[in-house]
């Protein structure tokens, strides 16, 4: 009903919220000896999937595209892993508060951008429903 754009933005917001959780865990454990920071990668996969979904395809049957791997940007998943690279200094904690704060700010900006795009899309739908378009 809402189209691919809304599903992609919804997934992007979910992924940004999960990334916030990983950044928060890193910040919370910045002083924990031996803690290895969490990393979450999905941006490149989302970008590639969005570029791939730009090509127009038409399904002749509802199940033709649904079961295909890499179904598009709306289906991108996050991969969370531990960054095991340590500097070898001190307590083997590899969390840099400066890096985490930069990641936090970038994530927040991208989250806000996605919410604005989603809001504009819903406003366009409201205009269409009301017959103002």
Judged by DSSP in three states, 131 sits in coil
pLDDT value of residue 98: 96
- What's the pTM? 0.74
CA distance 36 to 45: 24
pLDDT value of residue 91: 84
For the stretch 119-133, what's the b/e string if a residue is b when 16 or more beta carbons lie within 10 angstroms of its beta carbon?
eeeeeeeeeeeeeee
Each residue of 16-50: pLDDT tens digit?
999 999 999 999 999 999 999 999 987 777 777 76
Q: CB within 8 A of 30, min separation 6: which ones?
A: 93, 95, 97, 100
More confident residue, 68 or 83: 83
Each residue of 8-22: pLDDT tens digit?
899 999 999 999 999
- Phi and psi, residue 40, nearest 5°: -135, 120
CB 78 within 8 A of CB 14: no
More confident residue, 89 or 1: 89
130: DSSP letter:
H
């Amino acid at each position: 009903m809402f189209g691919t754009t809304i599903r992609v933005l919804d997934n992007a917001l979910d992924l940004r919220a999960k990334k916030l959780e990983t950044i928060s865990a890193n910040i919370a454990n910045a002083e924990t000896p031996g803690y290895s920071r969490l990393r979450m990668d999905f941006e490149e996969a989302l970008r590639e999937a969005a570029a791939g979904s730009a090509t127009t395809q038409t399904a002749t049957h509802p199940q033709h595209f649904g079961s295909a791997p890499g179904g598009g940007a709306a289906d991108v998943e996050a991969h969370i892993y531990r960054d095991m690279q340590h500097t070898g200094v001190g307590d083997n904690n590899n969390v840099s508060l400066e890096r985490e704060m930069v990641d936090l700010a970038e994530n927040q900006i991208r989250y806000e951008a996605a919410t604005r795009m989603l809001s504009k899309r819903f406003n366009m739908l409201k205009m269409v429903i009301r017959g103002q378009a």
